[in-house]
Structure 1
Amino acid sequence: MATEKNVYRLQGLSCTSCAAKFEKNVRQIDTVEDVQLNFGASKLTVAGNASIVQLEQAGAFDGIKVFPEKQKISTQHTPFWKKRENQTTIASLILLLAGYGVSTTNGDHNWLSIALFLAAILIGGYSLMKEGLSNLVKLEFDMSTLMTIAVIGAALIGDWAEGAVVVFLFSVSEALESYSIDKARNSISSLIEIAPSTAIVLRNGREFEVEVEDLQINDVILIKPGQKIAMDGEVIQGDSSVNQAAITGESVPVHKVIGNEVFAGTLNEEGSMQVRVTKLAEDTTIAKIIHLVEEAQAEKAPTQQFVDRFAKYYTPAILVISLLIMVLPPLLAGGAWGDWFYKGLVVLVVGCPCALVISTPIAIVTAIGNAARNGVLIKGGIHLEETGQIKVIAFDKTGTLTEGRPEVTDIVSVSSLTEDELLTQAASIEKFSQHPLASAIMRASEKSSNRLAEVKNFQSITGKGAKAEIDGQLVYVGSPNLFKETSVIDNSYEQQIIELQRQGKTVMLIWSESGLHGLIAVADRVRKSSLSIIKKLHQLGIEKTVMLTGDNQSTATAIGQQLGLSEVKAELLPHEKVNMIKKLEAHGKVAMVGDGVNDAPALATATIGIAMGGAGTDTALETADIALMADDLEKLPYTIKLSKRTKQVILQNISIALGLKIIALLLIIPGWLTLWMAVTADMGATVIVVLNSLRLMRSNV
């Protein structure tokens, strides 16, 4: 029997070391079997039984509050200066300045200045020292423990002023770090506020305002001008322009008419509409985006995994070095115990890996949040990192580089059948197919108002066409390749087929045992943006752009030349696309861009699978590593630039975190680095790393 898992949202989770300690405390609860803490999303998953009271006790050291995942949390904004921890920091500063004023007038060691410095330490560092002493008893060494040791050490050698400065600087740095992390985290949690919590439902001709959680599939909701759409659904009455930027990142509103799909969280701009609900609240597109984005934050990127492994050995090494500095010089060289004890404390403070540990996750969280707000769903830090390393991008043709709505352009009968009869035969068979080319034939047939023939024994021929019985005769509809396998094409027809293909058209033949009946040409217009996007990709360092299509070579080549693609591979079956992806990997990491349905195997095989039109396709959200929520390629260059920029920021963060520590450690040797300077170096590095990561919040990367 599977263990029950409960998911909770957290408030007050202020730092990565606090998160690690909280997770450890929860894990120690007897009834808890497993714990997963998502720091970026402030979510806790607990396998086993644990009450909210027990969980909050485990996080009492940091004032962590725990709420069931589905419970709405009322967040009240507290001004910065009204927060208790910031008020104590301000009080500590006032006492610190007063202490310096008195010591300047009456000397460093008069009782009044010492009393003022001591008051600054106790008021500003009460929570710090309470936590630090508790950790010290348990021999747990985190930043609170190290700072407490430093303050106590400063007091023992009579340097009260330095102890007070250490407390004040630590408090300021903690406040700035907490503020910055909350800002990054809010960029994600703000997604939750996109969709309204209530909707106007129509029942028995009357309007009722209800919670969205109470809406059922097939309920009809009223969307008034200027309102946000509360649920995913289908327009059944009215029409309007809808701003879908919150979901797809599209800046231009989309006109919605009867039969069109709308998404929760999008803004109805002008008209009034009635919408039939098609998904429950927890299944809406925005709900899935929020869930996937939060899960993405929990997945560690390769750089983060490396940093975590490095920190695992780095921290114990710093502790050993600190102890050796305290003990060896006095024992072996006759150094003063007090001086070397002080230097050992400084090494401990400088060596704390806070900035290093947070250098990667804060950048990943911020970048994924930026992408989500711009209509790009990235399902993990590993995918974000690898996208910037892509060397080859393979594209499906239909619906990716082209509009995906092919139209019949030519109908040529070479038998006694009229063009209408030829179209009817093709449509009668293709009505059972899901291929885009079949849809083009069906649309053409509907325009002609042709009555379809009765069909028996329909059979799809994967990647090539289909066959069925019409009036007792077996009729084929398919590519010229399929025809060549079953019959012989007259040279005059073959030349006509080649000429149509050179024009970028796809040709389908209709034939039976009695011979060739005729041909139908279909054209799918190239997207207007495709050419400029291919150019941008090459400018971003993509070495090869390749089209993988099941279409014929001539049509594919014509489109490939039009778009400036590096390579075109045509007449491919689904499994052959997979084989091509594997071959392309010889050139480097490969991304596959498709619609997430027909291209699922290739998407799964590529280093990065990128699905288009994720807002309307559940399959795209499930199978792809990255989903472009709008049905266009505009966001592809943006995603690659974001990945490259994130990688740069991470490397900058690691360099800052390690660089400042190396400089500080070198300054210890001549005795130039004091405790308060060590605190500034360590916590300053943390704040710089966080602020540097927040630059990724900007929309234009």
Structure 2
Amino acid sequence: MKRYKLKNLDCATCALEIEEELKKQDGVKFAAVNFATSELVVDAEDHEKVVETVKKVEQEVELESIEKEEELDVNKKREIGIILTSAILFAIGTIFNEQLHAIFPAEYVVLLTSYIIVGWKIIWKGITNLKNKVVFDENFLLTIATLGAIAIHELPEAVAVMLFFRVGEFLQDLAVDKSRRAIKALVEIKPTFANLKVNGEVRRVKPEEVKVGDLIVVKPGEKIPLDGVIVEGNSVVDTSALTGESKPRDVAVGDEVLSGMVNISGLIVVKVTRSFSESAVSKILKLVEEASSRKAKAERFITRFARYYTPAVIALAAVISTIPPIAFNEPFSPWIYRALVLLVISCPCALVVSIPLSYFASIGKAARIGVLVKGSNYVDRLTSTRIFAFDKTGTLTKGSFKVVGIVTKNGFKEEEVLKLAAIAEKNSNHPIAKSIVEAYGEVRAEVKSHKEIPGRGVVAELDGTKIAVGNDAMMHELNVEHECFRDETVVHVAVNGKYAGYIIVSDEPKEDAKKAIEELKKSGCKVVMVTGDSKRVAERIAKELGVDDFYAELMPWQKVEVIEELKKKYDSVAFVGDGINDAPVIARADVGIAMGAMGSDAAIEIADVVVMDDKPSKVSESLKLSKRTQRIVWQNITFALAVKGIFIALGSLGLATMWEAVFADVGVTLIAILNSMRLLR
């Protein structure tokens, strides 16, 4: 997969044509052009052929890896110069039209010069596209319309169309460029260097050169370039670029820090735990960049619509220019003029530009609040989702369990039960297991064997002693007689098949969990909890948070079965989880949402949406943003189609001039773009 910056790509229809043409080429497995960012993502065997294909469709487009700001400024100044020169000549030709008309060549010299200055680029593109068999693009249509106007001696209108169109295109480019910069600023968190510490010396290197296990020094004010664990020093870090959380976080030796965070106060030394390509910042940038390749329904609708709309309007123009004058025995000139007006408004740029831009702006805004949406299609899916299923531990609850009590049986002592449980759980990463080990302290004994049973517990062997630590289901499977009378999470302990007692472990909901569920329910959604924990614990948490229903004591595959049943009742089901055992159900849901801070790599990789700070409230915020995005998308579609429909009708009746038709094209596009940019606020 390779990425290109498409310089001079100023036409949304052209972007679509480039993408379609690349998909037709042999050896091209994948191609996606994002007009909103001027980027091409392509998976091809021959990249020289990719360049040739792009040039074939659009000769002026250049493929580059980096777009230089200085060149952009020069291009803008040049464009302003062209527009002003043409505008001055147009003003002279219009104001002194009668005087110039008296001198035959003078009128043509002034107005045609103005026309050529502002229109040569459009005319050349139209001719080039015609050679490449691209007939229905705006450049060719405007060329035909204005040359037709000149032929029927409507010189001022021909110049006005070219001039207003060029001004509109310039303003459109400024608006799109501003939105691109705004979107990129939201996710511009990529560090440019790392201070690598080798043999006591520190040297500045690229983050890509640092390996796992290396030590890096991060000074106050610098971005943390790679994920790692602090081994020296303490500080305060700004995590807002990753999580959207404004409150700084205190960190010290042993704490994990992620790339993209900013070190605020003290100097820290970090031991790198992930290579740069696997770091948090790289994953964020990759997800946001690739998101535009997964198109929403509205985008696919506009793509199909554009294929039929422009040819249909051109056919209507052909009918208007020929049938009425022949049928009513009238002059061709006024009917040709009406047909030319229709040609001017036939380009669907307002839709082709603003719709993808709306989705990309939405994805950028989501990244700003700490939510990564992997495609605009998932924005649509979130909007249509009516039921949200949440995992419990680590998703709705903190997952930071604490041992609050030990009940012994059959002559075992409390310290003995805790010690045996800690030995068995030493190699487990489950939050409950960690809480038991933490309660006991340092575990020095090494077990001979260790087997973790998902959704049940662990079985370990120490010096011929078989230790089983797990839930009620495990005790039943091992035929161990046991008892439990408490409403907290209970971990049973059996030694050589004999019941030793149970450890009471407590977990508590996250601070914003109840608010998240309330907000989702206000939006008209149903909220359920799907957990592997005991029914008693699940019932307590469900009642405390106010979820509509809960499913408890489920194995990973049983969670998938629950989602399958929910999908039969609801059009779209979202599942929110964090653990590796949640990966299958996240994959099966219509919208899979993973907690990104503490969640497993498998869950994050397979999810459609990633919440970077593990806050359930970000799920409801994402839903609100998705609904707002869809409202703006349909506002743009309705507005553009309504205005174009009105002008098509007025043009057909001879009530609209060509320069008014330019507003129906460029003006509507500009308004739609500005409307889309509201999502960035």
Bin for the TM-score computed over the shorter chain: over 0.9
Quick check: 1:463 aligned with 2:458?
no
1-structure distance, mates of 2:121, 2:430: 65
Quick one: structure 1 residues 79 and 330, their matched pair in 2 at CA, closer, same or farther if it must change by over 3 Å? Answer: same
1:67 aligns with 2:64: yes
The one-letter code sitting in structure 2 at the alignment partner of 1:556 is A
What's the counterpart of residue 84 of structure 1? 78
Cα distance, 1:32 vs structure 2:
7.4
Distance 1:353 1:477 in 2: 65
Q: Which AA in structure 2 matches 1:478?
A: G
1:127 deviation in Å?
Answer: 0.6
For the structure 1 residues 32 and 480, does the alpha-carbon distance in structure 2 shift closer, same or farther, using more than 3 Å as the test?
A: closer
- Identify the match of residue 110 of structure 2 among 97, 116, 119: 116
Alignment of 1:367-406 (within 5 A): 367-406=362-401
Mean CA deviation greater in 403-412 or 273-282: 273-282
Q: Which one of the candidate residues 222, 225, 229 is aligned to 2:220?
A: 225
User: Is contact 2:230-2:269 (8 Å) kept?
Assistant: yes
- Rounded to whole Å, the distance in 2 between the matches of 1:53 and 1:512 is 67
Mean Cα displacement is larger for which, 609-618 or 258-267?
609-618
- What's the secondary structure of 2:265's corresponding residue? coil
2:531 alignment partner in structure 1: 549
Q: Does 1:133 align with 2:115?
A: no
Which residue among 15, 23, 41 is the counterpart of 2:11?
15
C-alpha contact 1:131 1:145 (8 A) present in aligned 2 = yes
Counterpart among 270, 279, 284 of residue 284 in structure 1? 279
**Following superposition of structure 1 onto structure 2, how do residues 195-214 of structure 1 map, counting pairs within 5 Å?**
195-214=190-209
Cα distance in 1, alignment partners of residues 177 and 590 from structure 2: 33
Question: For residues 106 and 461 of structure 1, what CA distance do their matches in structure 2 show?
Answer: 92
1:446-467 Cα distance to aligned partner (Å, 9 max, x none): 1xx5654x64454334322233
In structure 2, the CA distance between the partners of 1:161 and 1:443, relative to structure 1 (3 Å rule), is same
How much does 1:590 deviate?
A: 1.1
Distance 1:10 1:81 in 2: 15
Q: 1:348-397: per-residue Cα shift (whole Å, max 9, x none)?
A: 22222222223421111111111112211101111111111111111111
- Conserved 8 A contact 2:31-2:40: no
2:562 counterpart (580, 587, 590): 580
CA distance in 2, matches of 1:618, 1:56: 38
- CA change 1:67–1:278 in 2 (3 A) is farther
- Deviation per residue, 1:250-280 (Å, 9 max, x gap): 1111212122222222211111111223333
1:194 deviates by 2.1
Q: Secondary structure at the match of 2:428?
A: coil
CA distance in structure 2 between the aligned counterparts of 1:23 and 1:486, rounded to whole angstroms? 60
1:640 aligns with 2:623: yes
2:317 is aligned to 322
Given that 1:56 and 1:65 are in contact with CA atoms closer than 8 Å, whether structure 2 keeps it comes out as no
Paired amino acid for 1:17: T
Distance 1:62 1:646, change over 3 A: farther
2:167: which partner in 1? Answer: 172
Question: 1:60: Cα distance to partner?
Answer: 9.4
**TM-score after normalising by structure 2:** 0.93
> Any unmatched runs of 5+ in structure 1?
none
Q: Does 1:663 align with 2:662?
A: no
Give 1:94 deviation, angstroms: 1.7
Q: How many Å apart are 1:632 and its aligned residue?
A: 1.7
Residue 532 (structure 1) aligned to one of 515, 520, 531: 515
Does residue 161 of the first structure (1) align with residue 144 of the second (2)? Answer: no
> Which residue number corresponds to residue 331 of structure 1?
326
Corresponding residue for residue 608 of structure 1:
591
Match of 1:48 among 19, 36, 45: 45
Q: CA RMSD in A?
A: 2.7
- How far off is 1:192 after superposition? 6.6
Contact persistence 1:52–1:66 (CA under 8 A): no
**By how many angstroms is 1:51 displaced?**
4.1
Matched, 1:560 2:554: no
- 1:102–1:112 Cα contact (<8 Å) kept: no
2-side partners of 1:275 and 1:226: how far apart?
15
1:630 maps onto 2:624 in alignment: no
In structure 2, the CA distance between the partners of 1:245 and 1:55, relative to structure 1 (3 Å rule), is: farther
Cα pair distance change 1:131/1:444, threshold 3 Å? same
Render the CA deviation track for 1:377-430: whole Å, top value 9, x for unaligned: 101111111111111111111011111111111101122221000111212222
Structure 2 residue runs of 5 or longer lacking an equivalent are none
Q: 1:181 aligns with which of 176, 190, 193?
A: 176
Structure 2 contact 342–652 (Cα < 8 Å) conserved: no
**8 Å CA contact retained: 2:17, 2:57:** no
Is the 1:32–1:50 Cα contact (8 Å) retained in structure 2? no
Q: Deviations over 1:516-558 (max 9, x none)?
A: 221111001111211112111111221x111111111111111
1:507 is aligned, of 490, 499, 504, to: 490
Deviation at 1:198, TM superposition (A): 2.1
Give the Cα separation in 2 of the matches to 1:59 and 1:245.
44
Bigger shift: residues 37-46 or 404-413? 37-46
Q: How many Å separate the matches in 1 of 2:162 and 2:6?
A: 27
2:633 is the alignment partner of 1:650: yes
> Where do 1:139-154 residues align within 5 Å?
140-154=135-149
Q: Distance in 2 between matches of 1:372 and 1:343?
A: 47
Query: Match for residue 429 of structure 1?
Result: 424
- The one-letter code sitting in structure 1 at the alignment partner of 2:612 is M
Residues 1:322 and 1:227: Cα distance change in structure 2 (over 3 Å) = same
**AA aligned opposite 1:174:** E
